[in-house]
Amino acid sequence: MFLSHRLSWLGIGFVAFGTFVMLVAIPYGVTSPSNVTKLVLSPTFWPHIIGWLIILLGAILIAMHAAAPPIQNPGAIADDPVTSTNWLRLGATGLVMVALVYLVQFFGLVWISIAAFVALSAIVQSSRPVLSGLVALALPLVLYAFFAHVAGVAIPQGEFITLP
Q: Where are the alpha helices (DSSP H) in 21-83?
A: 26-29, 45-67
Domains of the chain, by residue range, sit at: 2-71, 85-150
How much is the pLDDT for 79? 54
Could you report the per-residue pLDDT of 3-49, keeping only the tens digit for each? 567 778 889 999 999 999 999 999 998 888 888 888 777 888 889 99
pLDDT tier at 1, thresholds 50, 70, 90: very low
CB 107 within 8 A of CB 161: yes
Cα distances (Å, whole numbers) of residue 145 to 72, 137, 149, 153, 158:
55, 13, 6, 10, 16
pTM for this model (two decimals)? 0.60
How much is the pLDDT for 73? 60
Secondary structure class of 37 (helix, strand, coil): coil
How much is the pLDDT for 7? 76
Of 82, 130, 123, give the one whose Cα is nearest residue 99: 123
